Amino acid sequence: MGEVYRATDSRLNRDVALKIVPAALASDEQRMARFEREAQLLAALNHPHIATIHGLEEAGTTRALVMELVPGPTLAERIAQGPIPLEEALNIAKQIAEALEYARERGIIHRDLKPANVKLTPEGQVKLLDFGLAKAMEDSPAMQDISNSPTLSAVATKAGIILGTAAYMSPEQAKGKPVDRRADIWSFGVVLYEMLTGKTLYTGETAPETMAHVITKQPEWNALPAMTPPRIRRLLERCLTKDPKRRLRDIGEARIAIEDYLANPGAEAAASAVSGVAVAPAAAEPAWRLAMTWAVAALCALLAALGFWRPWAGGTRSGAGLPVRLNSDIGAEGKLYTDYGASEVFSPDGTRIVYVVTEPNGVRRLYLRALDQLQATALPGTDTARDPFFSPDGEWIGFFAGGLLKKISVHAGGAITICEASTSRGGAWGEDGTIVFEGLAVGGLLRVSSAGGKAEELTKLNPGSGTHRWPQVLPGGKAVLFTAATQVNTFEDASLEILDLATGARKTVYRGGFYGRYVKTGH
């Protein structure tokens, strides 16, 4: 449709984007008519999530749209980094839906929604670009000639060439049939799917091949993260139904569904807990992974048998709390990794468990399971991981791998490096956003921001060799419990100590023990 340049509006002293039709195409009356229509359509739209048009300028045979210059990467660039965590993806999708809903109310459909036409500003705002292929529904019937369907932009990938726009066409659009608002709903579903999986839904080496896949192939639902909530899965299924008569009727329904989930993400889990029915993902998994993650009693390897009770209540033993036991299957061929630190850890709210498994192929990685579901999922980017720990809000998991301290969202996505850590002997995430960890085989505790940066020394060793290991930030974030020892192999002289983070003072609370954990009863 044109070439886009960054420019300066010298009259108003502001940066703008100029969208110019190449001179070689300026004589194409049909293309020029579409270009002018873009200006008219954009001028009618005034919404925080739609790029604004400032004017239409002409100079001889050159015509240019003067548009808002939107900073930040495109959604396509963000997806190229890997799957987007659930909450972030849904917030992006909600803003896209708001923009499409606003345009729809004014009789306009986009017809070319794709990640490359969505910008993410530094402030976290979504801006929808390029309504140049939109169609005012009161206009003449849709073009039947598929050669006039939306621009096919080639994007180089490792697998070959993916035709960007063709991959986001609705089936009826790929067939050259008339389209309405449901075409945007299909494209919206494709974009949300790609945000969650990090993968293009339909690809091909040529436009016809890509369109054929759009028309004939069903989505690979098992590519969605296993932790994808059933409500969001159902929304995707309704958006990506090939028959437009059975598709979601209005994009506003998608917006409402996302808003409802974001307002109360635990509603479905709570309902399943009340009914006693576990909500499991609809997607199928490979047989070997199912064997590793499903709780099949006859084949289970017992990971944990945990009893929760209140030892004292008013000086007498309380019978109100009955023991609760949990079995979590790692499969007959899987092996729980127990060489260093914690093998499995519960989230602070007790709704999730993360554990370290060596898979049949020898790869060691983290598995995460929501306790209201039977299926666990391997977290991508956690190869060689060990010693996991949760953030206070339970949304992140810190871990050590490859000489680095890393973190990963519980909603999947890629692992993020925080800092170097030549070895791992435990970490703890404080309420102030800092992480305390032992990053040297023989050394004191270190502290670093969970956002990343250079680690600083927190404790010094006593004279002679030794180690400070397995820290736990205590409630309130004012002190750290840790193990101090000089005999790092036997821990015969180990003690449990508490460090006051404000004063740096240390106090020994128990001699002869190691790997101490504080519990809410004050013990």
Residues catalogued as catalytic: 112
With vertex at residue 89, the alpha carbon angle to CA 85 and CA 92, rounded to the nearest 5 degrees, is: 150
Scanning the structure block, which residue is given the tokens 């890629």? 414
Alpha helices in 8-85 (DSSP H): 29-43, 75-79
Dist CA 286 CA 137 (whole Å): 45
| SS3 state at 64 | strand
Beta bridge partners of 397: 390, 408
Dist CA 369 CA 302 (whole Å): 15
DSSP class of residue 176 equals T
Going by DSSP bridges, is the β-strand pair 352-358/335-336 parallel, antiparallel, or unpaired? antiparallel
Cα–Cα distances in Å, from 254 out to 84, 220, 406, 433?
19, 21, 34, 34
CB 163 within 8 A of CB 157: no
Beta-carbon count within 10 A of 148 CB: 13
CB 130 within 8 A of CB 70: no
Cα-Cα-Cα-Cα torsion 112, 115, 118, 121, nearest 10 degrees, comes to: 180
Long-range CB contacts for residues 10-17, cutoff 8 Å, separation at least 24:
15/69, 16/54, 16/66, 16/67, 16/68, 16/69, 17/51, 17/66, 17/67, 17/68, 17/69, 17/70
Listed in sequence order, the residues at least 6 apart from 45 whose beta carbon sits closer than 8 Å to its beta carbon are 52, 102, 103, 106, 108, 131
Exposure string of 443-457, with b = 16+ CB inside 10 Å and e = fewer, is bbbbbbebeeeebee
CB 164 within 8 A of CB 155: yes
